[in-house]
């Protein structure tokens, strides 16, 4: 009987078995390459057949490399090309798997409504969809938070928006403040004009920023400024564009002017602060809650573990099957299903590895080769040449190693 076995390797990522060649050209070329590899690893094949198969596989390698039929190529060049493909494949898998699930939890904003429902929003549509699905499957998180806020005396009509840091700390997002700041940033020329005027008055912002407030009448006034305060306020009275922009934003966000303060530093636009006692109280509740840790760990669990290990098996139809005992098996399978170009690259690596192994196995002198062709009894010679009839790769720590299994006859 015949036993197929695999040597022990320590740096193993993807495990592959079987040779499935997929030509970059016509379907007939693909079939020819596949048959050639089968002939190479058939212990009953003659030397003539095996040499013919080597020629076919070399043609396949040249086609994969984009070389014409009348070009010349060495086994060293083929091996180098195979290593380049392998490096590119490793980088693509590592990068692709890192983006499975939630790519950046810190960019997601969570809004809690009056009924205790948490809603996720993000500029990344995939992240938003994945995060919302997880939140919907854990409805108690929002309800428990709303109950805690109510206990702290925060009105249920107060919408609380939050972001979670990489360490699991939840921070309240002042949405009104953010919207007003966006409005001021859109009119950055007004901040630049104010800074230029202050510089002409001798105000040094490099050491001490200047603070401003908006009066009930909609006028900007300097909260400080020392000896230059009178001149600054006179300039602000004559140049109302910045005050008008701020007043329009406050009206849009339904914010009272008494809750707003502004600051202009040495660089950048005027920065706005909107004081909100409810949000300050909400932050106090969040600081005592474990919700941030729960959100952080929950969202991170949606991605693929950086230390994932799995096996890839090439099917007869050219697709791949991911074999893993881990919880990420379905995500990894979907990743390869969604990336047919990567699967095709994997098949090329596998085929070129088979060619290199066959080349090493057939390193005999021309005279010996002629004798063996004449004898046509190559089965015993080939079965003892330590050629690989299957290939194995191990995916670990973002790298794949191409490994060969050995045929052993007992």
- Given a cut of 70, whether residue 11 has pLDDT beyond it is no
- Choose between 249 and 327: higher pLDDT: 249
- Given a cut of 70, whether residue 378 has pLDDT beyond it is no
365 falls in which pLDDT band (50, 70, 90)? Answer: low
For residues 265-277, give the mean pLDDT. 94
314 falls in which pLDDT band (50, 70, 90)? Answer: confident
CA atoms of 355 and 392, how far apart (whole Å): 15
Other beta carbons within 10 angstroms of residue 355's beta carbon come to 26
pLDDT digits (tens, 9 = 90+) for 130-149: 899 999 999 999 999 999 99
The pLDDT, as a whole number, for residue 25 is 37
- Choose between 319 and 15: higher pLDDT: 319
pLDDT digits (tens, 9 = 90+) for 13-48: 333 223 333 333 333 444 444 555 555 555 556 666
Categorise residue 217: left if φ over 0, alpha if ψ from -120 to 50, beta otherwise. Answer: alpha
In this prediction, what percent of the chain has a pLDDT beyond 90?
40
DSSP 8-state code for residue 105:
G
- Choose between 390 and 258: higher pLDDT: 258
* Ordered DSSP codes for 257-319: GGGEEEEE-SSSSPEEEE--HHHHHHHHHHHH-SHHHHHHHHHHTTS--TT---EEEE-TTS-
- Given a cut of 50, whether residue 356 has pLDDT beyond it is yes
What residues does each domain of the chain span? 18-99+324-389, 105-174+278-300, 176-275
Q: Which of 58-67, 347-356, 382-391 has the lowest average pLDDT?
A: 382-391
How far from 217 is each of 240, 264, 321, CA to CA, in Å?
A: 12, 21, 70
> pTM (2 decimals)?
0.55
223 falls in which pLDDT band (50, 70, 90)? Answer: confident
Please name the helix (run of DSSP H) or strand (run of DSSP E) that holds residue 163, with its range, or none: strand 160-164
- Given a cut of 50, whether residue 405 has pLDDT beyond it is no
């Amino acid at each position: 009987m015949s036993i197929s076995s695999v040597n022990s390797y320590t740096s193993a990522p993807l495990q592959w078995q079987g040779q499935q060649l997929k030509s970059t050209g016509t379907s007939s070329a693909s079939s020819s390459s596949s048959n050639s590899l089968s002939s190479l690893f058939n212990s009953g094949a003659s030397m003539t057949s095996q040499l013919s198969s080597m020629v076919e596989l070399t043609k396949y390698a040249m086609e994969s490399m984009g070389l014409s039929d009348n070009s010349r190529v060495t086994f060293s060049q083929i091996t180098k090309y195979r290593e380049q493909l392998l490096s590119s494949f490793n980088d693509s898998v590592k990068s692709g798997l890192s983006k499975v699930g939630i790519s950046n939890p810190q960019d997601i904003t969570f809004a809690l409504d009056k009924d205790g429902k948490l809603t996720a929003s993000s500029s990344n549509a995939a992240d938003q969809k994945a995060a919302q699905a997880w939140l919907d499957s854990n409805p108690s998180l929002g309800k428990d938070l709303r109950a805690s806020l109510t206990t702290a005396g925060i009105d249920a009509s107060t919408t609380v928006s939050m972001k979670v840091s990489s360490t699991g700390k939840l921070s309240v997002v002042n949405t009104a403040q953010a919207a007003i700041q966006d409005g001021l940033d859109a009119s950055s020329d007004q901040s630049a004009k104010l800074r230029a005027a202050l510089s002409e008055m001798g105000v040094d912002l490099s050491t001490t920023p200047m603070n401003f407030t908006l009066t009930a009448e909609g006028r900007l006034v300097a909260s400080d400024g020392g000896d230059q305060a009178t001149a600054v306020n006179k300039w602000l009275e004559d140049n109302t564009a910045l005050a008008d922009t701020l007043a329009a934003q406050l009206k849009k966000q339904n914010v009272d002017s008494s809750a707003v303060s502004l600051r202009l530093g040495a660089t950048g636009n005027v920065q706005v602060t909107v004081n909100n006692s409810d949000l300050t109280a909400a932050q106090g509740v969040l600081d005592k809650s474990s919700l941030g840790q729960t959100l952080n760990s929950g969202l991170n669990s949606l991605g693929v573990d950086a230390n994932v290990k799995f096996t890839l098996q090439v099917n007869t139809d050219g697709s791949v099957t991911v074999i893993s005992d881990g919880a990420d098996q379905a995500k990894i399978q979907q990743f390869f299903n969604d990336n047919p170009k990567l699967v095709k690259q994997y098949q090329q690596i596998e085929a070129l590895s088979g060619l290199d192994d066959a080349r090493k196995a057939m390193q005999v002198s021309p005279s010996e080769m002629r004798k063996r062709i004449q004898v046509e009894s190559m089965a015993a010679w080939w079965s003892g040449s330590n050629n690989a009839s299957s290939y194995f790769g191990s995916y670990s720590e973002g790298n794949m190693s191409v490994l060969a299994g050995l045929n052993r006859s007992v």
